[in-house]
Structure 1
């Protein structure tokens, strides 16, 4: 569909698609999928949008918990973003992740939906401690591209562009996009979908450029991040719990984008 007139959009994924980093659990999360739905609704105000994403989910959990529900909603557009939580686990298996993601691609495209996905940025650029997993990111991106090609899935190449390492595009936890980062992701997917007015402006550097920080300030920032973000994440892993435990999707049924259930900008 080249004119962007979709009628039913369903988003599958984890915390990034749920919208963590863009709003909060008290006022509500927005996120790139909501922002994309808002853009789609400009072309078709009758658009119905559902978001099945739940934070903390691994690729197999997204497939097990969200795929059948998504198919039952009969989308003509679906987005699938899965694998980032798997990348951070010690038992990382790129073939297993790709198998689950490809199964979702296959089922959704076979049902007639246009499907879009993203590649992952190099998180080692924003989290120096993540450098040991840099090779994993390249491997999983290659697997995702290959699976997408086999099923005609559109790919927003987030990982190719230097701007995605700008700290202003990231939440202080460095794992989730900031509101500005979520908007850039939405714009990237809009370009992949060839929506009216979409272009590559999302790839351009932010202005003005950030000043360089000295080593002491940079080291202090690393300690602060480790205390406020890394520490709680490690504790959850050691206790065998997930941030998504006992959470339900925020928008499990397709609803209008605007109106009583509006997701318009807050």
Structure 2
């Protein structure tokens, strides 16, 4: 099961992962209110279960609440087509309005279960802001990995190794290790199949922030997490698969 960016960020924030200030809005008026509450320039981001939203016109910057309202009016209701939606696209029903962030660097941080070892693998790369699959195909040496022993969990030394490998030393070392630990704790606690921050940014004032976040969950473990199951958005799923599930038809 997938969740929206704003939902993933809310979950990760509970585990100490720093995220930009923001709230979800279902209307242009609501977006203007959120922008006014934030009190500065904002990003208005379409919420669909697909990447490539910016290139498709699903992310707009706004300097005032009025501009945020206008941006949201253009995004909400649009048929957003990205490289992950297919030509039919997805209808946008909500936007995330959050503070604009001035960035110095974009990195990648993600966790999946390694199919070979069955262990969680934490991956970090300085090549953030692009699909990690592209990096793996073209420059696999840019992806640094830590295979975690589930019996002992993610260790600080593993975090330090990944931090140094991605040039997150100095004042960023401790925050980087803490952020990785928080991401791992969320991944394990919620039976996640994917936890990804892309990009993880270093801000102009020297902070680490999850500028975008993605979490997928093991469908077979949702009975243990009703709070996660409640986040499901069937409008983002294949209608035929939803109907088959309702009829009790399994693949």
What TM-score do the two structures reach when normalised by structure 1? 0.30
Which of the pair has the greater relative contact order for Cα pairs under 8 Å at 6+ separation? 1
Higher strand share: 2
Higher helix share: 1
What TM-score do the two structures reach when normalised by structure 2? 0.31
